[in-house]
Amino acid sequence: MIVFLLLTCITEMVGINIKHRYINELDYIKSHPWFKATVHPNVWIYNILLVFQIVFISLIFNDLFKKHVNSKPIIVGGLIILGVFYLVDFISHGPFIKHNITTIAASVIFILYSLYYFYLLIKSDFYVDLWIYSGFWWAAGTLVFYFGNIASLVFFEILEKLNPHFEVTVPIYKILNIILYSCWSYSFICRKWLTTRSKSLL
């Protein structure tokens, strides 16, 4: 988790820096038509981060599933499917355009993983208090984020037409990120609290 969050922070910082440089260069081009742009948009770095996101989230779901079922075929199958979609995206338009097909496919798979995990919790013979159960909150945050993500991608053009002069998806993703990281943070607080309580009972 710590490594993944570090990679995410580095990606965001580099991405913002590239975006600002690109915007400044576009402004320069408008005032100097003879000047040719040399800086590409920052989409490529998020396409790289997408690989780490897929692997990280799949590994966490593997950890959640294996307490209930044999998780390896589910997780390996999902990774193979997403690997194929990623390859199709890369071959069709290269690294400088967002891999939307892979992102939508990953969103669908992670939504299904989350719902399947909830089903496993319901069918489990063991009682769990959902208010303090770390796995539940981690999966809940993932479900909300990727459901919102897929809705934003599918209805992107409609959302943009609502207000052409304002990026409607920006506040949507900010809210989704707050929900995701709040749920993940609470999940790890619950895990730490339960671990501490278990040690105190020994």
CB 146 within 8 A of CB 107: yes
d(CA 67, CA 84): 28
Work out the average pLDDT over 21-48. 63
- Tokens of residue 76, six digits: 């390996």
Please give the residue that has the higher pLDDT: either 108 or 32: 108
pTM above 0.75, yes or no: yes
Which of 151, 128, 154, 155 is closest to 139 using CA atoms?
128
d(CA 33, CA 139): 50
Confidence bin at 125 (pLDDT 50/70/90): confident
Q: Residues 63-122: pLDDT tens digits?
A: 999 989 999 999 999 999 999 999 999 999 988 888 989 999 999 999 999 999 999 999
CB 86 within 8 A of CB 51: yes
CB atoms within 10 A of CB 67: 13
Look at residue 38 in the predicted model and tell me its pLDDT.
Answer: 45
Work out the average pLDDT over 115-139. 91
Rounded to the nearest 5°, which phi and psi values hold at 198?
A: -65, -40
Residue 35 has pLDDT above 70, yes or no: no
Look at residue 28 in the predicted model and tell me its pLDDT.
Answer: 47
